[in-house]
Amino acid sequence: MADWGALVATENGAPFITPQSIPLALISRKTAAISASSGAVTTVTQTFTAGRPIIPFVCCTVSCVVSYKVSGTTCTVSIANATAAGGTAYVYFFTIFAQPLPVWGIAIWDEQGTCILTNETRVLTDIEAVGTNGSNTAGGFNINTTKTGKYGIVPAMSGLVSGVITSGGTRPYSSQYFFRATWNGSSTVLSSALTNGPPPAGTTNVTYHNMRNQVYALNLASYD
C-alpha cells in the first residue's frame, strides 16, 4: 500500500482504491431490440480508451446466445436470437475512464492528475461467480440458477456438442454452448443456449464437451 493518497475501504475492510489502482466504472447502459428473425444477430457497441480494459454484462428478455469481442477501441456484444422471438437486450459496459467532476462531493486523482473516482462514480463491485469450476454437474452448460432481480452475465462459452447428421445426407454437426441471462421482469435465469440448436433427429455419435467453468453475474438493478 502506498505511503500517500486516498484510501477507500469496502464494507469488509479491504482496500478499495490507492494511488496505483483505478476502479472499473459504468461508462454506458444500453438497450437494443432483439430481432425476431431466426438466426438474426443484434449488436451493441461501445468505444473506450485505448490501453484500458472493458467488460460488458448482458441480460435479455428472451433466450439468446450472447458473445463479445474487442477490436481496437471498440467492444461489440453480439446477441443471436435462439428462439425466433423478439425481446430486449440490456448491456452495461464497464471500463476505466476519466471521471467528470461532480458539482459537489468527493473527487480523487491519480499520480498523473486524472480524476479516477468521485462520489458519483458507478464503480463495478459485488460480482458473483455462479457455478463450480471443474464440476460437470454444477459447472459449464449444466449451470441453471435463478436469481431474484435483474442480473447480467459476462458473455462466455460454456461447452460444445458435436455429432454426425445422417438424415438427408451425411454431414458433421456441431453447436456451441454460451452462457445466457434471461430476465422475466422479476427474476433472472442463468443457464446456457446453443448456437445451432440441439442435435437434430438422426444425429449419431453425439458427444458433449462441458467446459465446467463458472459464469460471472452482476446485479444490474444496482446500476439502473
Average pLDDT over residues 153-170: 93
Res 20 pLDDT > 80 = no
Average pLDDT over residues 91-98: 95
Q: What's residue 16's pLDDT?
A: 62
Grid cell digits, residue 87: 425481446
Q: What's residue 3's pLDDT?
A: 58
Evaluate whether 75 touches 54 at the Cβ level (below 8 Å).
yes
Q: What's residue 142's pLDDT?
A: 97
Res 28 pLDDT > 70 = yes
Q: What's residue 113's pLDDT?
A: 83
pTM summary value:
0.89
Res 94 pLDDT > 90 = yes
β-strands 157-165, 171-183 pairing:
antiparallel
Please tell me which of 21-25, 78-82, 114-118, 123-127 the model is most confident about, judged by mean pLDDT.
123-127
Average pLDDT over residues 113-120: 85
How far is the C-alpha of 194 from the C-alpha of 190, rounded, in Å?
14
How far is the C-alpha of 36 from the C-alpha of 109, rounded, in Å?
46
Res 10 pLDDT > 80 = no
For residue 99, the 8-state DSSP code is P
Average pLDDT score over the chain: 90
Q: What's residue 106's pLDDT?
A: 87
